[in-house]
Amino acid sequence: MDRQTQFRNHLAEGQVFKKDYIVLGTGILDGEPVSNAQIKIPLKTLNRHGLIAGATGTGKTKTLQVIAEQLSLKGIPSVLMDLKGDLSGLAQAGSVSDFILKRSETIGVSYDPQGLPVELMSISNEKGVRLKATVSEFGPVLISQILELNDTQRGVVALVFRYCDLNHLPLLDLKDFKRVLQFVVNEGKSDIEKEFGQVSAASVNTIMRKVIELEQQGADRFFGELSFDVQDFVRTKEGKGVVSIIRLTDIQSKPKVFSTFMLSLLSEIYETFPEQGDSDQPKLCLFIDEAHLVFSSASKDLLEKIEAIIKLIRSKGVGVYFCTQTPTDVPDNVLGQLGLKVQHALRAFTAKDRKAITKTAENYPDSPFYDTAEVLTSMGIGEALVTALNEKGIPTPLARTLVRAPITRMDILSSTEIDQLVASSDLVRKYNHDLDRDSAFEILERKMNQVESVQQKEIPKEVTRKSSSRTPKDESLLKELSKNTMVRQLGRTLFRELARGILGSFSGKRR
């Protein structure tokens, strides 16, 4: 038996799948792509998470694009965190070239260029569906973790939430939260001390300072209404999974906002998705490009929470995929949970690099066909060492893989194309309203001003009541929304209050 046949048999034995799968590419032996040696990833184990690693320019983002495409074609939606702004091309068909046709033929797949259903989203000022969440939905535990508070300060935050619950003061945005913090040590001081005991003004000051810090990183765009319903990630159009691209290019320099957002998203998915049980395919896959940004800025507490959620979210049928330069960017506890590993080339410039390569090689299954460490540094662009989990949860044979070309555009959309996409989005219509309904800030302001206006009757109310500056147009919009969305929204917030009680166990487990 020749070496190529041995190689094919070796791959085939390890990739016996009864259920559906996607084809990532074809195996490479002795530097040459081998025909009839396809590298497959079973849909059944895609909720077991994964890693796409490799040096800059080796093909990580294109691999991510290819996997998201193949999932979409199978009707599986995905969410992509796009930190470099290079994923929007998924909405348009790729262009045919001799190079790509030849590559597809070698791999044994047809090249059928097409645009896929894409939804652009943003947590800041980028064009697309605005993703938001209320402070109340975050809950005291998560807020405290994000602000990196100590136990005393956490106590104050818990008290603030409790006080607001009892007094029907909705905490929607950071403005509300700051206003209540102020209230607690000023106008409301004696009331609160009667009920909860003394509150340390120094703690409140620290919390306030940290909230302002978070605000300065741009998080104020993210807190508020209308909060995003994560079920809207799970959509199909004409049988194809919708690819939600969250554009985060302006967030790179604000890692804290990014990890905050990531954690809130994962918690929300965890808390609202039903248990999936044994299933033939994932419900949703989440891809995080430049994932080192999530981990490098996260506090120990936040990291532990991310690790815990990653472990638990599997049972909801959600797979999380990290895209980063070296596997060492990902904490060991997370790495140990990853089923799919796609390792593009690594470059060995320094002694530290070489150490990282040796360590990386050790984390892959042995192969009779490769010297893993040698292959790691010699692979070309668009090639990767791949191992997935088979349907029984056993790693598939390690294979140097020629990754197929994306069927969507490898380049980005033009600004006209982006405008068109955003204009035709029903989710944009659903979420992109400026909604500032009466919440803690307005209610407290009004209460205080009433006290004041009794004291100084000569000042007309209009001057002191900043909160009534809402224009009639806003009023009618509010009325319109209150018919459906707000009722639903209130329902969700209430549900969240309950969930917080129950899942408090989840969020508080580690203390």
Ligand X SMILES: Nc1ncnc2c1ncn2[C@@H]1O[C@H](COP(=O)(O)OP(=O)(O)O)[C@@H](O)[C@H]1O
Sign of the Cα torsion 86, 90, 95, 98 reads: positive
**Token pair recorded at residue 64:** 């991510």
- Smaller CB separation from ligand X, 157 or 245: 245
Binds 256, which of Mg ion, ligand X, none (CB < 5 to 8 A, cut-off by type)? none
Residue 382 within binding range of ligand X, rule CB under 6 A:
yes
Binds 425, which of ligand X, Mg ion, none (CB < 5 to 8 A, cut-off by type)? none
Element (H, E) at 40: strand 32-42
* Candidate list 101, 381, 423, 490; residue touching ligand X; CB under 6 A: 381
Give the angle 34-9-50 at the CA atoms, nearest 5°. 75
Binds 336, which of Mg ion, ligand X, none (CB < 5 to 8 A, cut-off by type)? none
Q: Which residues, 6 or more positions from 136, have their beta carbon under 8 angstroms from its beta carbon?
A: 161, 164, 170, 171, 172, 493, 496, 497
52-71 residues in contact with Mg ion (CB under 5 A) are 60-61
As measured in angstroms, the least distance from the Cβ of 152 to ligand X is 44
Residue type, 37: A
My answer on whether omega of the bond before 226 falls inside 30° of 0, hence cis, is: yes
Residue 140 within binding range of ligand X, rule CB under 6 A:
no
- CB–CB of 27/404 below 8 Å? no
- Smaller CB separation from ligand X, 356 or 444: 356
Burial class (CB in 10 A: 0-12, 13-18, 19+), 291: buried
Binding mask 200-239 for Mg ion (x = CB under 5 A): ----------------------------------------
**Token pair recorded at residue 230:** 């994560």
**Can you spell out the DSSP letters for 249-288?**
GGGTT-HHHHHHHHHHHHHHHHHHSPP--S-SS-SEEEEE
Of 56-64, 110-118, 295-303, 434-442, the segment contacting ligand X by CB under 6 A is: 56-64
Residue 27 within binding range of ligand X, rule CB under 6 A:
no
Residue 54 within binding range of ligand X, rule CB under 6 A:
yes
Residue 62 within binding range of ligand X, rule CB under 6 A:
yes
Binds 58, which of ligand X, Mg ion, none (CB < 5 to 8 A, cut-off by type)? ligand X
- CB–CB of 201/193 below 8 Å? no
Element (H, E) at 119: strand 118-122
Calpha distance 249→134 (Å, rounded): 23
Of 43-51, 52-60, 269-277, 475-483, the segment contacting ligand X by CB under 6 A is: 52-60
* Candidate list 56, 198, 424, 456; residue touching ligand X; CB under 6 A: 56
431-460 residues in contact with ligand X (CB under 6 A) are none
Q: Count other Cβ atoms within 10 Å, centred on residue 104.
A: 17
Binds 201, which of ligand X, Mg ion, none (CB < 5 to 8 A, cut-off by type)? none
Of 165-173, 196-204, 354-362, 402-410, the segment contacting ligand X by CB under 6 A is: 402-410
- Smaller CB separation from Mg ion, 25 or 139: 25
Would you put residue 398 in left (φ > 0), alpha (ψ -120 to 50) or beta?
beta
- Smaller CB separation from ligand X, 60 or 221: 60
* Secondary structure of 382-431 in HEC code, one letter for each residue: CEEEEECECCCCCECCCEEEEECCCCECCCCCCHHHHHHHHHCCHHHHHH
Residue 15 within binding range of Mg ion, rule CB under 5 A:
no
* Candidate list 45, 61, 70, 134; residue touching ligand X; CB under 6 A: 61
Element (H, E) at 36: strand 32-42
- Smaller CB separation from Mg ion, 60 or 132: 60
As measured in angstroms, the least distance from the Cβ of 54 to Mg ion is 9
Sign of the Cα torsion 214, 218, 220, 223 reads: negative
Closest CA to 53 of 281, 316, 385: 385
Total residues in contact with ligand X, by rule CB under 6 A: 14
* Candidate list 12, 96, 410, 503; residue touching ligand X; CB under 6 A: 410
As measured in angstroms, the least distance from the Cβ of 323 to Mg ion is 7
Of 59-67, 105-113, 208-216, 479-487, the segment contacting ligand X by CB under 6 A is: 59-67
Binds 405, which of Mg ion, ligand X, none (CB < 5 to 8 A, cut-off by type)? ligand X
- Smaller CB separation from ligand X, 27 or 382: 382
As measured in angstroms, the least distance from the Cβ of 102 to ligand X is 11
* Candidate list 34, 164, 405, 435; residue touching ligand X; CB under 6 A: 405
- CB–CB of 91/116 below 8 Å? yes
How many whole angstroms from its chain centre is CA 122?
Answer: 11
Binding residues for ligand X, rule: CB under 6 A, are 54, 56-62, 66, 381-382, 403, 405, 410
Binding residues for Mg ion, rule: CB under 5 A, are 60-61
